[in-house]
Amino acid sequence: MEALILKGSVDTPSITLDVENNIFEFSGRSLPENASEFYNPILNWIEEYAQKPLAKTVFEFKLTYFNTASSKLLLDIFTKLEEMTEAGKDVLIKWYYPEDDEDMDEAGDEYADMIEVPFEKISYVLQKFRVQ
């Protein structure tokens, strides 16, 4: 299956869906002007992938911000992963969030409560760089 790799921008996340290298990652900010248009190819890719997934699939979400429209489409992605789980596939969602970001922490809790997929939350410390 061909990889789907989207380079992120100020308004869109970087997305790597690569079966060959076992990388399924979303990172950055998600506030595309037309969220449905942006996420539809991703949803279609996941639907196709679900037909013949790897023995274990780990989706990593390393988002720093997402808008309301993106939140609905993220739930659509999680629902597709839930369908895979219901079909007996081994799926894990890893939700990364900055340790001081209560909104992203709570968003992870809310998604975990809405779906029946193993869900792991991982906090991290944002590095602050000093200009010399």
Domain count, the chain: 1
What CATH number did the domain enclosing 102 receive?
3.30.750.24
Interval 84-130: pLDDT, tens: 999 999 999 999 999 999 999 999 999 999 999 999 999 998 766 56
Strand ranges for the chain from DSSP E? 4-6, 14-18, 23-30, 56-66, 90-98, 119-124
Residue 38 pLDDT = 97
Residue 109 pLDDT = 98
Q: How many other C-beta atoms are found inside a 10 Å radius of the C-beta of residue 117?
A: 20
Q: How many other C-beta atoms are found inside a 10 Å radius of the C-beta of residue 74?
A: 19
Which whole number is the average pLDDT over 64-78? 97
pTM given for the model:
0.92
Q: Does residue 14 carry a pLDDT above 90?
A: yes
Mean pLDDT taken over the chain: 95
Residue 125 pLDDT = 86
The SS3 assignment for 119 reads strand
Does residue 130 belong to any structural domain of this protein?
no
Does residue 129 belong to any structural domain of this protein?
no
Does residue 109 belong to any structural domain of this protein?
yes
Total residue count of the chain as it appears in this document: 132
Rounded distance, CA 23 to CA 79, Å?
19
Does residue 41 belong to any structural domain of this protein?
yes
Does residue 28 belong to any structural domain of this protein?
yes
Does residue 131 belong to any structural domain of this protein?
no
Rounded distance, CA 18 to CA 113, Å?
27
Supply the range of the domain harboring residue 44. 4-124
Does residue 23 belong to any structural domain of this protein?
yes
Residue 126 pLDDT = 73
Does residue 91 belong to any structural domain of this protein?
yes
